[in-house]
Amino acid sequence: MAYFQRVQVMGVTGEKPTLKIIETGPFARFSVAVDEWWRNQQGENKKVTTWFRCSAFGKVAEQAMKQIKTGTWVFVEGRMRVRKLPDGREFTSITVDQFRKLMPGRHEQDDQPMPDYEETPP
């Protein structure tokens, strides 16, 4: 029996991708924020933001560098892992197989990073 894992995330990028050239070729890293909204029993609107670290390789990395800016709406598909930092904190990581830029973000900017995703509550 074959097993596989696939995750799809639609959200807003937190920063312009960073590009590194490694032995196997281009490597790009960026983050995507996904908001969850609900109304509590008192009628107040509540929101939780989940941040995903995304890593892309090869041609996907090159495309990310060309198309993604801070605040870009994207649909990302890939494999997900939960990683643990040396200090015990955890973060969710996606190895991107493909992505699609959905529309220009109204907050799309070139050099304005959003808050660090590790400081966002779970």
Classify residue 122: in a domain, yes or no.
Answer: no
pLDDT (0 to 100) of residue 78: 96
Classify residue 121: in a domain, yes or no.
Answer: no
Q: Give me the CATH number covering residue 78.
A: 2.40.50.140
> Which domain does 58 fall in, by range?
7-107
**Predicted confidence (pLDDT) at residue 121 exceeds the cutoff of 50:** no
pLDDT in tens, 7-48: 999 999 999 999 999 998 999 999 999 999 989 899 899 999
Give the count of domains, the chain: 1
Classify residue 102: in a domain, yes or no.
Answer: yes
CB 14 within 8 A of CB 29: no
pLDDT (0 to 100) of residue 1: 78
Q: How far is CA 103 from CA 5, 12, 67, 71, 76, in A?
A: 27, 10, 11, 10, 13
Classify residue 115: in a domain, yes or no.
Answer: no
Instruction: State pTM to two decimals.
Output: 0.76
pLDDT (0 to 100) of residue 108: 54
pLDDT in tens, 60-115: 999 999 999 999 999 999 999 888 889 999 888 999 999 999 876 555 555 444 44
